[in-house]
Amino acid sequence: MNLKKEDYPVTVLYDFDLGEFSPKERSVARKVSDLSPMFHDKAATEALIKQGDPLVYEIFYYGFKTSLSDMALGTTRIQPGKVGDEYYMTKGHFHAAENQPEIYFCVKGQGNLLMQTIEGEFLAERWKVGTISHIPPMWAHRVVNTGNEPLVFVASYHLSAGHNYGPIEEKGFRKLLVERNGKPEFVLNEQWK
């Protein structure tokens, strides 16, 4: 076997206080403006963008690509916060490759994992530190931070799964997670038809 540089094992370290892995690899930052089609309160979205467009979440990727495999690790850190009454969340996506699953592991904070099929079957899992969720192929997935501290989760997936954001950008998930009397509550998403 002729080993190339990428065929050697890689080890990373998670910092429980920072909610970060080191060494960091590629990263992406998403602000309120990057999620403007997603939040239901358009006036609150515009107002926040004008006030400085705050950071909603960051993604760090470890694309452990070898000559034979493409098993990736992603860590996502969602800040606490809301747009209007709706909690900060990831955009949410289907996989472009329809046979691809994913594993999410909550390592900091609390919130919910929302999942939905293209036909509109909807499921939500309550998350606390230690929760591990398997997302089967064909289920869109989004994570919502309902706590007062950052929510961090680790994702394991194949890079070749890809992302399909289209259906979620268009009409979102069936239910929104909003704050009512200081507590998270699900309400129907009027945009979903």
β-strand partners of 116: 122, 140
The number of residues that bind Zn ion (CB under 5 A) is 1
Q: How far is the CB of 120 from ligand M6P (least distance, A)?
A: 18
Partner from ligand M6P, Zn ion, none contacting 145, C-beta within 5 to 8 A by type: none
Does 114 engage in binding with Zn ion (CB under 5 A)? no
Question: What's the rounded Cα separation, in Å, for the pair 87 and 111?
Answer: 9
| Residue 157 contacts residue 104 (beta carbons within 8 Å) | no
Question: What's the rounded Cα separation, in Å, for the pair 54 and 57?
Answer: 9
Q: Say which residues have a Cβ less than 8 Å from residue 46's Cβ, sequence separation at least 6.
A: none
Could you say which of 39, 83, 102, 106 contacts Zn ion (CB under 5 A)?
Answer: 102
Partner from ligand M6P, Zn ion, none contacting 74, C-beta within 5 to 8 A by type: ligand M6P
Token pair for 135 = 């997302």
Q: Which residues bind ligand M6P (CB under 6 A)?
A: 59, 74, 76, 90-93, 102, 155, 157, 163
For 63-82, the three-class secondary structure string (H helix, E strand, C coil) is EEECCCCEEEEEEEEECCCE
Partner from ligand M6P, Zn ion, none contacting 19, C-beta within 5 to 8 A by type: none
Residue whose Cβ sits closest to ligand M6P? 74
Q: With respect to ligand M6P, which residue has the nearer C-beta, 21 or 82?
A: 21
Token pair for 182 = 């200081």
Partner from Zn ion, ligand M6P, none contacting 90, C-beta within 5 to 8 A by type: ligand M6P
Interface residue list for Zn ion (CB under 5 A): 102
